[in-house]
Amino acid sequence: MINKNHPRYNSLVLREKIEKAYDDGYLGKTAMIAHGRGEAFDYLLGEETSYPAKRSMYVAVARLLLAKNPVISVNGNTVALAIDDIIELAENINAKIEINLFYRTEKRVEKIAKIFKEKGCNDILGTNDDEIEYINNIKSSRATASLKGIYTADVVLIPLEDGDRAELLSKAGKKTISIDLNPLSRTSKASDISIVDNIVRAIPFMNEIVKDLKMQTIDLLEKIIKDYSNEDNLKDSLDSFKIKGDIKWKL
């Protein structure tokens, strides 16, 4: 058990979830390294959701609410850190959930599908018995997608997505919404809406936004999207990093 008084308590709780997911067999080693990268970026962000991140979340929710076939892509890290919030979001915006793993193995997919099943989610896509197609006919493990899901989706939410795949989805004409703590990552750069935040804060916040935007007119949702520049927002996100911390010299 982690001591609640530890200066890094909140961060250590998340780390423990990631380690547990690895022990449970649905995370690869690289996924743990990726989590560490996220820790560092979040550290520099002050572990708080920035204003630009919030702004991009409003646009993301508007985009998801207007979508014809919105899909939330989930990998092991997302499941480990935010499964309940993801399920809530999928229900709130009427989106499908699709499993997409960087290092896909039947065993990992099965384990993740089982976790969703235990939460009452029986129609998860991207499972071992789902119909899988290659996007743009690219015969690569990065290009696989469920026929009913991402393959035919117009809007895809990609939390913690790999850069190759984010670029591929974008080139395939999908509107992509990333959640990635690195504003300079290929995923952040390739996405239409780049949310630079920790998913454990972002998804619950998006669930709050849904409640608000669901009450608004389509015209307003369209205006929110039209008024938004992801390039400007990414620059603002970058500016919200606090690499200049104060250095307290010695103990």
For position 239 contacting a second copy by CB under 8 A, the verdict is yes
Do residues 134 and 116 touch, judged by C-beta distance below 8 A?
Answer: no
- 104-134 b/e (C-beta count within 10 Å ≥ 16 → b): beeebbbbbbebbeeeebeebbbbeebebbe
Q: Please give the C-alpha separations between residue 21 and each of 75, 97, 104, 108, in angstroms, as whole numbers.
A: 11, 19, 15, 10
Interacting residues with a second copy between 149 and 168 (CB under 8 A): 167
Stretch that binds a second copy, among 67-75, 101-109, 124-132, 234-242 (CB under 8 A): 234-242
Interacting residues with a second copy between 4 and 33 (CB under 8 A): 7, 15, 18-19, 22, 29-30, 32-33
For position 234 contacting a second copy by CB under 8 A, the verdict is yes
**To the nearest whole angstrom, how small is the minimum distance from the Cβ of residue 226 to a second copy?**
17
Q: Name the nearest CA neighbour of 219 among 66, 57, 60, 61.
A: 66
Give the span between the Cα atoms of 248 and 242, in whole angstroms: 16
Stretch that binds a second copy, among 48-56, 87-95, 150-158, 182-190 (CB under 8 A): 182-190
Amino acid symbol at 64 = L
For position 1 contacting a second copy by CB under 8 A, the verdict is no
Residues interacting with a second copy, by CB under 8 A?
7, 15, 18-19, 22, 29-30, 32-41, 43-44, 167, 170-171, 182-184, 186, 189-190, 230-231, 234-235, 238-239, 241, 243-245, 247-251
